[in-house]
Amino acid sequence: MKADKRAKLRFDSKVAYIPPDEASKSINPPIFMSSSFEYDADIYQRVVDGERKSVNIYGRCGNPSEYLFEEQMCVIEGANACLGTASGMAAISITLLGLLKAGDHVVCDWTTYSSTHEMLDHRYTDYDIETTFVDTANPDSVRAALKPNTRVIYFESVANPTMKVAAIEPLVDIAREHGAILVCDNTFASPYVLRPLEWGVDIVVESATKFIGGHSDAIGGAICMKTDRLPEDFLEQIRWNTMVKLGSPLAPFNAWLLLRGIQTLAVRLQRQCQSAAILAGHLETHPKVNKVWYPGLASHPQHDIAKSQMPEFGGMLTFEVDTADDALKVLDNFELCSFAASLGGVRTTTQIPASMAFLDVPEEQRREMNIADGMIRISTGLEDPEDLIADIDAALALI
């Protein structure tokens, strides 16, 4: 299929279709398990001349399985370019390191994935990159935080774990007015629910480990770009000047697993969104539950924004019980739901953000992020929602 026709397919067809391999006609993508690639005089000359794009040199610089993943991600996200990376955190770090230099300033939402927050709050300060943390759902607070040296505005389309949803259009306007680059982590939403590049975001970072791969068996990340405010070859530049130097390429087997997962992204997410909405509705009426955070609930503080940006509300939700001990008791007594790190797989996974993913974030900051000790995060899998409800109710009955 020609590229322009492929680009016009509906989303479900885009994810299911991967062009057959030209050499073998295999309908599944080939895998290239090689750390090294043979030179000939022509390749040698191209490398020497600096024409390295898509030239296979050494596995740390890229590999053909990764390029197939990048091509598929471009189609899915509506991107002009994609860089596959070893993990979601590699995608985030490479993007920020590629965009920032000493003396730059970042405006970032208060609630982002803990490692992102930690990097901006501590590590980058060591290199004279300062961050102001704000509530990006409030455009005025973003405006107020801008400085002449603000280079990046960073947010999560659905924030981990508070499920906050910022309105994207005002952030795009602010970034453009100010000449800053708008970066969005779309991991919690997934490209099925939201494609931020279509809304004018400059760069999207994804932990492909989660919904994109979808089977809890591969770690990987993607940086996707569509913008006229960075050089067209920006991702190729940061491949060579940052990713290769950090040593964080997407491994071939992981690229292959992620490509396998992508093909079912639409049907998985369709079910996960439906089940998460059912769980959220059920938990909202449960006497042991203090609060439920799901963008599809009318009680969600940004429900109207979510409705205007997302046709469905994703597979993630959080709810609160009284204490950390209660949360632990609930999770420890699940039988069908897994008490496990990570999210986005076919199995329902649950965790206590305050004492798991956000353990390294000081308590006071966790409070500012609205992460209560008794908060429980659910990544809804593909099980029957009635069985999930029975499992959750049985565990909640013990507190």
Residue 49, classed as helix, strand or coil, is coil
Q: In the complex with ligand PLP, which residue's Cβ is closer, 207 or 275?
A: 207
Tell me whether residue 263 is exposed, middle or buried, using C-beta atoms within 10 angstroms of its C-beta: 0 to 12, 13 to 18, 19 or more.
middle
Q: In the complex with ligand PLP, which residue's Cβ is closer, 163 or 266?
A: 163
Residue 307, classed as helix, strand or coil, is helix
CB 376 within 8 A of CB 323: no
Can you list the alpha helix ranges (DSSP code H) found in 319-362? 324-332
Q: In the complex with ligand PLP, which residue's Cβ is closer, 65 or 114?
A: 114
Tell me whether residue 10 is exposed, middle or buried, using C-beta atoms within 10 angstroms of its C-beta: 0 to 12, 13 to 18, 19 or more.
exposed
Nearest approach in angstroms of CB 393 to ligand PLP is 27
Q: In the complex with ligand PLP, which residue's Cβ is closer, 356 or 394?
A: 356
Of the candidate spans 81-89, 99-107, 168-176, 296-304, the one that interacts with ligand PLP by CB under 6 A turns out to be 81-89
The DSSP result for 57-71, as a single string, is: -BGGG--HHHHHHHH
Member of 111, 131, 209, 318 binding ligand PLP (CB under 6 A): 209
Q: In the complex with ligand PLP, which residue's Cβ is closer, 90 or 146?
A: 90
CB 237 within 8 A of CB 286: no
Q: Write the binding mask 114 to 153 for ligand PLP: x where contact by CB under 6 A, - elsewhere.
A: ----------------------------------------
Residue 261, classed as helix, strand or coil, is helix
Q: In the complex with ligand PLP, which residue's Cβ is closer, 156 or 326?
A: 156
CB 106 within 8 A of CB 100: yes
Of the candidate spans 7-15, 87-95, 263-271, 373-381, the one that interacts with ligand PLP by CB under 6 A turns out to be 87-95
Work out the angle at residue 198's Cα, subtended by the Cα atoms of residues 216 and 191, and round it to the nearest 5 degrees: 10
Q: Which of 185, 207, 211 is nearest to 312 (CA)?
A: 211
Size of the site for ligand PLP (CB under 6 A): 13
CB 374 within 8 A of CB 323: yes
Per-residue tokens: 194: 């939201």
* Pairing of the two strands 291-293 and 316-320: antiparallel
168 binds ligand PLP (CB under 6 A): no
185 binds ligand PLP (CB under 6 A): yes
Residue 34, classed as helix, strand or coil, is coil
Cβ neighbours around 373 below 10 Å, total? 20
Member of 72, 162, 187, 380 binding ligand PLP (CB under 6 A): 187
Q: Write the binding mask 287 to 316 for ligand PLP: x where contact by CB under 6 A, - elsewhere.
A: ------------------------------
Asked whether the bond before 191 is cis by omega within 30 degrees of 0, the reply is no
Of the candidate spans 38-46, 83-91, 329-337, 358-366, the one that interacts with ligand PLP by CB under 6 A turns out to be 83-91
Of the candidate spans 3-11, 86-94, 127-135, 295-303, the one that interacts with ligand PLP by CB under 6 A turns out to be 86-94
Q: In the complex with ligand PLP, which residue's Cβ is closer, 87 or 302?
A: 87
89 binds ligand PLP (CB under 6 A): yes
Of the candidate spans 22-30, 102-110, 180-188, 251-259, the one that interacts with ligand PLP by CB under 6 A turns out to be 180-188
Q: Write the binding mask 211 to 250 for ligand PLP: x where contact by CB under 6 A, - elsewhere.
A: --------x-x-----------------------------
258 binds ligand PLP (CB under 6 A): no
CB 150 within 8 A of CB 107: yes
Residues of this chain that bind ligand PLP (CB under 6 A): 87-89, 113, 156, 160, 185, 187-188, 207, 209, 219, 221
